[in-house]
Amino acid sequence: MGADLDALAHSILKENDLGGYTIPTKGLYPYQWNWDSVFVAIGFATFDLDRAWQEIENLFEGQWDDGMLPHILFRKNDPSYFPGPGVWGTKSDPFPTSGHSQPPVAATAVRDLFEQSSAPENVSRAKTLFPKLMAWHRWWATYRDPKGHGTVAIVHPWESGRDNLPDWDEPLSNVDTTGVPEYTRKDTAHVDPEMRPLKQDYDRYMAILTIGKACGWDATEVVEKTPFLVADPAITMILLRANRDLLVLAEKLGFQKDKAEIEGWIAKQERGMETLWNPEIQAYVTRNLRTDVLGAGVSSASFLASYAGLSDPKVIEPLNAHFDRIAGKVEFMLPSYDPDHAGFEHKRYWRGPIWAVVNYLAARGMTEAGDVARAEKIRQDTVSLVERSGFAEYFSPEDGSGAGGNSFSWTAAVWLAWATPSLAVNKAA
């Protein structure tokens, strides 16, 4: 079965390739998404390194002058998706984009691609991307941490990549939706509405988008005026890891002048993570920067601690206890939210389902930290989910059923790069 799934994963990436960039899946997501493309690149790298570089290089074609790398690149207008380029109203070149970013996994992938081959062309491509990565990371430090807390604030749930997490419920409750114009969602025409965010959440998403558009998507003004400003542990930890990888690239590629700036970001973020630790529940949580309210549930973000390079036993031991508790509650790991929490829903988007990409990041960090048993539990569960339900967008942690879109690019990509049993065979050989 593993070989057959490898072949299917290859075909999914090729079929979703629209000529140098890859869509997440046909119908539901017809554009190029930021962190989707980065995961796609690590999948392509298992059989076509040139195409892997191309995916990331083409993603950076959408980078703004201020360094921001948008979460959606609207390379063509597809009426099957809402909200499309006309709703966002950005004035970006060479094509319209969304107005905010998404989790910054690119530097980590670029380091991976660079270390895969010492060929001059490989080194050259990494050198070309390095200044663009620096500009993006500087944007995060400047515009999403304007007060220097060392945490990353998001201005919209979509920016987190974890759109309807229960932790957004409290900050979203303060969003006024009275001025939201009529709109027609397209996502619920593609998949079961029970798997998607509720209408009241979507109304709030659109209200926040409208405010950003009124600000002309000026990064400083958006932060000042948005009612939704939340420090996100997942993006903060992903950026912390990305900064560590960017520092390695700076050293190996000869960008010595940038090292001090990157080191400053890392030190600040390591301190900042302490402000996202909830001592009552013993986990990393969100912090609403408008009300200073801490999140009250354990999301999959907490299990990215080792991926971010955090190693204090006072943090890791309670998180391991949460991991073991949750593993005893569900059939498959790693649910996006604590099944003991009232907000948990096993098939509604980010309120409980398993995402293969988060499994990959969490397990990668655990492996690097020496926690091979928990990492392998996650990998084996991912294998079982794909064998049972195919390359779905996400999966139920309770029964393993697939949900959301099908033939999903990033699920296929992390299968090829990490989960597939074929890797174990290759390593043994």
Phi and psi, residue 91, nearest 5°: -120, 45
Q: How far apart are CA 136 and CA 318, in angstroms?
A: 33
Phi and psi, residue 385, nearest 5°: -65, -45
Contacts of 274 (CB under 8 A, 6+ apart): none
Cα atoms in the 13 Å half-sphere on the side-chain side of 311:
9
Residue numbers annotated as active site: 163, 393
| Structural contact between residues 153 and 231, judged by C-beta atoms closer than 8 angstroms | yes
Quickly tell me which residue has 């508790």 as its tokens. 325
Structure tokens at 127: 């050198």
| Structural contact between residues 134 and 246, judged by C-beta atoms closer than 8 angstroms | yes
How many other C-beta atoms lie within 10 A of the C-beta of residue 234?
A: 25
Q: How far apart are CA 22 and CA 11, in angstroms?
A: 12
